[in-house]
Amino acid sequence: MKIAFIIYDYNYGGGAQKTASLAQHLQLLGHSVKIIVIRCRDGENEKNTRPNHFSNILDLDSNGFLSSILKLKKIFDNSQYDVYISIGGVSNLFSGLAKFLSRGKFTLIGSENFAKSVFIGDFPKFYFRLLWPFFKLAYTQLNGLLFVAERLKIEFLKKNSWHSSRCITIHNPIRSIKKNFSQNNNKENNSGFTFLGVGILEHRKRFDLLIKAFSNVGDKKDKLLIAGEGSLESDLKKLVKKLGLESKVHFLGYVSDIEAIMKKSDILVLTSNSEAFGMVLVEGLSAGLQVVSTNSFSGPAEILGNGLYGHLAEVDNLNSIISSMRSAKNSPIPAEIIQEGVLRFQIDNITNKYLEFITLVMKSDGNLFKKI
């Protein structure tokens, strides 16, 4: 089968990781696969943040609304693929409009990777309100729609009259799973615990709450590592200084090998107030860490089995986060339970689900409003 993924922004992030992993595995299974990248960021540092485990990539080098659509239309006019899979709402927008203009008859499957969307009334940016009619038109061109979390799918179907047979939940995959889980947290308290926070340093990630919670939970030899870059870095460093934690909280900046950092850590903490999936949680489980996450919309509770595989805290609730972090230190979840949780995200299982849904959609004409 000839499969092309379309993604707006291929720099390091959950959507990019998922796309590269799926493309690589599908290629290993004998399929012809390409990733089409709409936006190409300038700068060597930006290129270094891309996933590096898949190389068959076509950069459209487009940053404009109209130019993105026209470049995709040109590809669709001479379509060489059996199916196109667009990754995320913006990619769905451009791909759907390009298909409308090309009048193509090929299969186009969209995917939803973000907790904020015009289709559930949560506009990620103000100007998306102006684009709302274009989103509606674009989604009429989709033949199927993938969701990274069941809770996300349910919310979309509540507010849109798409047929449920055209919509499916398939979680993001993990490339490799640790074969011999060790219980990282079964060690003497006097050796200290290493807490880890990973993500872009922006408001929705609520690193301020992580730092404040750590100031209440961390013992003398405990430390907190923060891996990521963002506009709030300066403010967060000021908070660390205000709390007198300069020797205990370390900002690592962008980290290309997050697995290596996880091997040196004990407890992963995610304090986001929105997280469509939460790929870092799966990575944490795969590394055998204790995992703490806020129960944000929409993926963390599904990943952590509603608290079976990790510790769930209330969103934007400092006391609840403190309590969950203490539980991770004092009452760690057994390694075999964590391993059971992460096996659900094996790349083989996830890829098979993709292929089954692709085959189902390709056999049936119609858009999202028509039953398969």
Contacts of 203 (CB under 8 A, 6+ apart): 232
Whether residue 204 is found in the same domain as residue 167: no
Whether residue 98 is found in the same domain as residue 39: yes
Q: Tell me the C-alpha to C-alpha distance, in Å, between residue 133 and each of 116, 118, 160.
A: 17, 10, 14
Contacts of 28 (CB under 8 A, 6+ apart): none
- Helices (H), ranges, the chain: 14-28, 44-48, 65-77, 89-102, 128-139, 150-159, 207-217, 233-242, 258-263, 279-286, 300-303, 318-330, 335-342, 347-362
User: What strands lie across the sheet with 57-59, from one edge to the other?
Assistant: 57-59, 32-39, 2-9, 83-87, 107-112, 144-147, 167-169
Bridge partner list, 107: 83
Say how far apart CA 44 and CA 64 lie, in whole Å: 21
pLDDT for 187 equals 47
Q: Is residue 301 part of a domain?
A: yes
Residue 275 tokens, joined: 């997280």
pLDDT for 43 equals 52
pLDDT digit of tens for each residue in the chain (372 aa)? Answer: 999 999 998 886 788 989 999 999 999 999 999 999 998 666 555 566 788 889 999 999 998 999 999 999 999 999 899 999 999 999 999 999 999 999 989 999 999 999 989 999 888 788 888 999 999 999 999 999 999 999 999 999 999 999 999 999 999 999 876 654 554 544 444 679 999 999 999 999 999 999 999 999 999 999 999 999 999 999 999 999 999 999 999 999 989 889 999 999 999 999 999 999 999 999 999 999 999 999 999 999 999 999 999 999 999 999 999 999 999 999 999 999 999 999 999 999 999 999 999 999 999 989 999 999
pLDDT for 125 equals 82
- Amino acid occupying residue 368: L
Residue 117 tokens, joined: 């969307």
Q: In this structure, are residues 3 and 36 in contact, taking their beta carbons and an 8 Å threshold?
A: no
Whether residue 149 is found in the same domain as residue 218: no
Say how far apart CA 224 and CA 236 lie, in whole Å: 13
- Amino acid occupying residue 222: D
Whether residue 97 is found in the same domain as residue 50: yes
pLDDT for 124 equals 79
Range of the domain at 40: 2-173+347-362
Q: Give the other-Cβ count within 10 Å of 185's Cβ.
A: 18
Whether residue 142 is found in the same domain as residue 31: yes
Whether residue 48 is found in the same domain as residue 78: yes
Q: What is the pTM of this model?
A: 0.91
| CATH number of the CATH domain containing 224 | 3.40.50.2000
Q: In this structure, are residues 188 and 180 in contact, taking their beta carbons and an 8 Å threshold?
A: no
